[in-house]
Structure 1
Amino acid sequence: MVVVEEERSIEGGLLQLDNQNDDPECRITACVIFSTVVAICASFSFGVATGYTSGAEIELMKDLDLSIAQFSAFGSLATLGAAVGALFSGKMAMVLGRRGTMWVSDILSITGWLSIAFDKDVMLLNFGRISSGIGFGLTSYVVPVYIAEIAPKHVCGTFTFSNQLLQNAGLAIVYFCGIFMTWRMLAVLGALPCIIQVIGLFFVPESPRWLAKVGTDKELENSLLRLRGRDADISREASDFKVMTKMVENDSRSSFCDLFQRKYRYTLVVGVGLMLTQQFSGSAAVISYASTIFRKSGFPVAIGMMMLSLFVMPKTMIGLILVDKWGRRPLLLMSTSLLFTRRFPGAGLACEPVGSIESGWDLVIH
């Protein structure tokens, strides 16, 4: 009798596991993978833009006879443009949709990259830099949001982390290719992923969460069926999107001043503190001017850039693998601790940061 009950218990557990695997909200379909790949094409271009000043610095200053001040201004214009793009990214994503915003970002980025690639004076060079910066300001918001809204909930962190993975891939490529490619060819290389995304966006579905707000029920269902499979039961997920949309609409009626209420104090301090820690870590300066750091320190620039290109990808892969297993907070604590580790007195060994903590900020948001 006991044996029979145990067999039934085992069979029940297996059936429950099968039902979980058959859950349409947990399916990883080809459409989800393809849509994610198309979205992160812009992230690759973003990574190229981040490291472009480091890979192109020497030849660019020589060919256009730029002073240090002019080149520094050129590098900083991308940050200025990104701030402008980020300022309007949320509103644009709500009005034009996730795909529409990515198209606008691509147009700005391609225009900027080609302006840099074919420029003959400083004005066109700076215009290209600020134009691509605005595009990447839009990209930094809309790409992780789009991926988080289409990915199955149990692998949402991993899929969203692919945005950071492709940024680091672009950074590694520009570091490596900058050794033997001209600065004009590097600019063309940065434009190619955006061109691929422009074409790929015609074949991916719109975000179901955005459609739940502005679209019809039919459009929402078609998007979910493409993402979860034509034979999937998407009624529960569609209902969840509608309920969540109504909750967001109610919250959106609040004013900016409501953010400083006492009940939001802890959340506000954590969010702002993480962003400040990221910016004050100095990682952006190291990434953008790595070649100058190597040259000033007397280290061979080509060897240093090649070592960096080989280093940035593995540390991102670690985060990609562990994000849904360990969680966001442990990874943030580990990366922040390693970033601020200093030389141990008397040990004779220096513990250097294993990577930027930027990869953790997206994880906290999603």
Structure 2
Amino acid sequence: MDIQSETSRLLDAEGAEPSGPQSEQDAYLSKVKNSKLYLATFASVLGPLSFGFVLGYSSPVIPDLSRTSETRLRLDAVQASWFGSIVTVGAAVGGLLGGWMVDRLGRKLTLMLCSLPFVFGFTVIVAAQNVTMLLAGRVLTGLASGVTSLVVPVYISEMAHEKVRGTLGSCVQLMVVIGIMGAYLAGLFVDWRWLAICGSVPPTLLLVCMCFMPETPRFLLSQGKKREAEEALRFLRGSDAPIQWEWNRIEEACSEQSSSFHVRDLRDPGVFKPLLIGVMLMVFQQMTGINAIMFYAENIFEQAHFKESDLASVIVGLIQVVFTAVAALIMDKAGRKVLLIISGVAMAVSTAAFGVYFYLVEAQSAAGGGSHADLAWLALLSMAVFITGFALGWGPIPWLVMSEIFPVKVRGFASAVCVLTNWSMAFVVTKTFQDLMNVLTSAGTFWLFACCCIANVVFTMAFVPETKGKTLEQIESSFRGTASP
């Protein structure tokens, strides 16, 4: 088949001007059918759904295991801290492993394989006879979460075109928060063992569904598999799409990066600039305190004197789902940078207000005051605003930007560094959260998070590029300081 002739005929039929690259792009995208792209995205985001369930699992389970009648499984304060945070240790290792796997095994096979430690980890938790087995199961599910958090954004970004890449990329975080809310909600009705069984369902579906999905065209081209890459691109764009316009750009970028990654490549501004931005986005995301707040949501509400703390956690999860969905819908219109700034400001205000709440509560307690019910609204409002702000920007966007800004040949390595940074910071924050509450007081801890959110905003305004509406190849060219392809 003469793809070039087909492209010219279909573009002419659209009335496009051959000399205008933007008009060619519009004409091409108007012929693209997204149904199979959406199907492949849905299959892949069962992975983030699984690791969202892992993140949310500790919130209803820690109070349950802290008062269980099975003494060999009962968690004391230190063990509960490890149960919540050790997932991040496994995830950090999983990020490194995932960086190697996506470059050696491909995006699709890596995603399929990561379903196994999810299932094995939850199985170990169900069969646990002691605290060590509980922690081992959490490490395994954390390992799978680390691999998933790396490979799914890369898989989606390499499949999607620029018109919908932001929306589809945001679905990663959307499914994470749906998984978190699912764990909170199920925790209201079932005990910790049945909750672990529920957590095994999404990764099982992931393994089955991904059997029918393609590898990404960019990875196939980087492996010299042109025929398979063309078939994958046709599958994702629809049989009527004149894929040559997109094919030429992908092929040109892959040919320029035919060599493998070497450490000396870090001197290339097209590599070290996006790598630094990606790493700092991950650092700042965790410095907001989001994982500490989500891991210990019920504990926080108990300390804030909410009688129905488990129900309050479900409400928090619901808010996160709704506003992450809103972010996905507006991502390709509002842009990444604007949403990050709005998100950072909202989180700074809300964590500062939460600090004020705890300061007033502690002051009342010191003065021998009675009920704190008159201040409970401030805690709930602060939490709601924080989750809303995080869901609109700093939740989905760092992962989305990470998947967009790295060249193909360093995508595995650079993504692994970002994921390792993210989960390492998550471990530090979640493991030290209770210590911070003891040393700085509850108020001081949340004011510290507020300062970090202000730093997020400054960093975004100064260094984060806008990637809305650009192809991956155009984004790469902007870092190199060359003309867009």
After TM superposition, the score normalised by the length of structure 1 is 0.87
Aligned to 1:358: 395
Deviations 1:283-325 (A, max 9, x none): 1100001011111221121331232132111111121111100
Tell me, yes or no, if structure 1 residue 48 matches structure 2 residue 85.
Answer: no
CA deviations 1:121-168 (Å, max 9, x no partner) are 222212211111111111001001101111122111111111111001
Aligned residue type for 2:133: L
User: Which residues of structure 2 form unaligned runs of 5+?
Assistant: 1-11, 18-22, 357-374, 405-485
Q: Is the 8 A contact 2:153 2:400 kept in 1?
A: no
Relative to structure 1, the CA distance from residue 248 to residue 91 in structure 2 (aligned partners, 3 Å threshold; closer, same or farther) is farther
- SS of the equivalent of 1:66 reads coil
User: How far apart, CA to CA, are the structure 2 residues paired with 1:43 and 1:66?
Assistant: 28
In terms of mean alpha carbon deviation, does 332-341 or 227-236 score higher?
227-236
Aligned to 1:90: 99
The residue that corresponds to 2:345 in the other structure is 337
How far apart are residue 254 of structure 1 and its match? Answer: 4.5
Q: Does 1:230 align with 2:239?
A: yes
Task: Tell me the distance in 2 between the aligned counterparts of 1:285 and 1:21.
Answer: 44
Partner Cα distance (1:264, 1:14) in 2 = 38
Distance 1:289 1:20, change over 3 A: same
User: Any idea what SS the aligned residue of 1:153 has?
Assistant: coil
For 2:250 and 2:55, the matched residues in 1 are separated by 35
Which one is further off, 21-30 or 310-319? 21-30
Q: Compared with structure 1, are the counterparts of its residues 298 and 279 closer, same or farther at alpha carbon in structure 2 (3 Å cutoff)? A: same
Structure 1 vs Structure 2: percent identity of aligned residues?
30
Distance 1:266 1:210, change over 3 A: closer
- Give 1:319-338 correspondences, 5 Å limit: 319-338=327-346
Does the alignment pair 1:221 with 2:221?
Answer: no
Aligned partner letter, 2:115: D
Name the CA distance, whole Å, in 2 between partners of 1:132 and 1:343. 34
3-state SS of paired residue (2:211): helix
Distance 1:103 1:245 in 2: 25
Evaluate the alpha carbon distance shift between residue 141 and residue 28 of structure 1 in structure 2; reply closer, same or farther with a 3 A threshold.
farther
Pairs aligned (count): 351
The aligned residue for residue 102 of structure 1 is 111
Q: Which amino acid aligns with 2:169?
A: T
Give the C-alpha shift of residue 256 in structure 1. Answer: 6.7
User: Which sections of structure 1, spanning at least 5 residues, go unmatched?
Assistant: 1-11
Q: Superposed, which structure 2 residues align to 1:1-366 within 5 Å?
A: 15-16=15-16, 23=28, 27-61=32-66, 62=68, 63=70, 64-249=73-258, 252-255=261-264, 258=267, 270-300=277-307, 301-341=309-349, 342-343=352-353, 352-353=385-386, 354-356=388-390, 357-365=394-402, 366=404
Residue 266 of structure 1 and its aligned partner are, at CA, apart by 6.4
Does the CA contact (< 8 Å) of 2:60 and 2:298 recur in 1? yes
* CA distance in 2 between partners of 1:363 and 1:20 (Å): 22
- Conserved? CA contact 1:40–1:143, under 8 Å: yes
- Displacement after TM superposition at 1:15 (Å): 4.0
Q: For 2:240 and 2:176, how far apart are their aligned partners in 1? A: 35
Asked whether the equivalents of residues 56 and 178 of structure 1 are also in contact (C-alpha less than 8 Å), the reply is yes
Change (3 A) 1:264 1:256: closer
Q: More displaced, 178-187 or 270-279?
A: 270-279
Mapped to 2, the partners of 1:86 and 1:248 lie a distance apart of: 23
Q: CA deviation at 1:204?
A: 0.5
SS at match of 2:306: coil
CA contact (8 A) 1:25 1:237 kept: no
Q: Deviations over 1:67-98 (max 9, x none)?
A: 12112212222100000010121221011111
- Is the 8 Å Cα contact of residues 25 and 153 (structure 1) preserved in structure 2? no
Q: Is the 8 A contact 2:25 2:245 kept in 1?
A: no
Q: What one-letter code is carried by the residue in structure 2 that aligns with 1:23?
A: Y
Q: Distance in 2 between matches of 1:198 and 1:146?
A: 15
Contact 2:98 2:150 in 1 (8 A): yes
Closer, same or farther: CA 196–282 of 1 in aligned 2, 3 Å: same
- 8 Å CA contact 2:53, 2:183 repeated in 1: yes
Question: Normalising by the residue count of structure 2, what TM-score does the alignment of the two structures yield?
Answer: 0.67
Question: Quick one: distance in 2 between partners of 1:256 and 1:84?
Answer: 24
Matched residue type, 2:348: F
Aligned mates of 2:289, 2:202 — CA distance in 1 = 27
- Contact kept, 8 Å, 1:78 with 1:130, in 2: the verdict is yes
Amino acid at match of 1:360: I
Partner of 1:23, secondary structure, is: helix
1:302-353 residue CA offsets vs partner (Å, 9 max, x unmatched):
33123213211111112111110011000001101111124599xx988642
Provide, for residues 228-259 of structure 1, a one-character-per-residue CA deviation record: whole Å limited to 9, x for no partner. Answer: 12333323323322221233345834537527
